[in-house]
Amino acid sequence: MRIKICGITCVDDALLAAELGADALGVIAVPGTPRYVTPETVALIRAALPPFLSLVIVAQNAEQAHGYPGDLFQLFDGPLPEHSRCIRVVRVRDQASLAAVASAAAEPVSAVLLDAYHEKALGGAGVAFDWSLAVAAKSLLGGKPLLLAGGLTPENIAEAIALVRPYAVDVSSGVEAAPGKKDPQKLRDFIASVRAIE
């Protein structure tokens, strides 16, 4: 099971997540959000990372992600950038959201990430969705990896994995002390809970 720690805003949190065994880190390129970081900050984070750890640029669209150094782009809408590996985000509200999953899977993306729909936030809202919809979504992906996000915490991650069996899990607010600042103990507990399942 792969683990992505999202909403990284500083080198210290990035290095702790890496040390604890995260497979990927996400940085937010959406201005005006609590975890937004500039391309310059992301460059510092990337330079400090150990090898073989992926850095994911999370943005609403490719234009917003322009100028950010990363290994993958995680995008909510708009056309995909050429010659880049991308993850398409689908914000799940109800059964009708499965049509968007099928559309995302038809794109030339590396994976599809399911997050909870929230009226006021693109992601990182700490809200879970009905995981049975993630189970249903797997049959629509054509073999592409499913990444599960939305309200995951050290307390519920084992249940989520047991039900959905995603390719990877993605956590942000569930391991924070405050928006944009990771809680070392929550980070340890989350990663340990995932690794205990394998």
Q: What is the pTM of this model?
A: 0.94
* Domain spans of the chain, in order of start: 2-197
The string of pLDDT tens digits covering residues 103-142 is 999 999 999 999 998 766 666 567 899 999 999 999 999 9
Active site residues: 6, 115
User: In whole angstroms, what is the distance from residue 5 CA to residue 45 CA?
Assistant: 14
- Quote the DSSP letter at residue 14: H
User: In whole angstroms, what is the distance from residue 123 CA to residue 12 CA?
Assistant: 22
Q: Three-state SS for 79? A: coil
On whether the CB atoms of residues 169 and 152 are closer than 8 A, the answer is yes
Tokens of 145: 């990896």
User: In whole angstroms, what is the distance from residue 169 CA to residue 19 CA?
Assistant: 18
CATH of 2-197 among 3.40.50.2300, 3.40.50.620, 1.20.120.330, 3.20.20.70: 3.20.20.70
The string of pLDDT tens digits covering residues 52-108 is 999 999 999 999 999 999 999 999 999 999 889 999 999 999 999 999 999 999 999
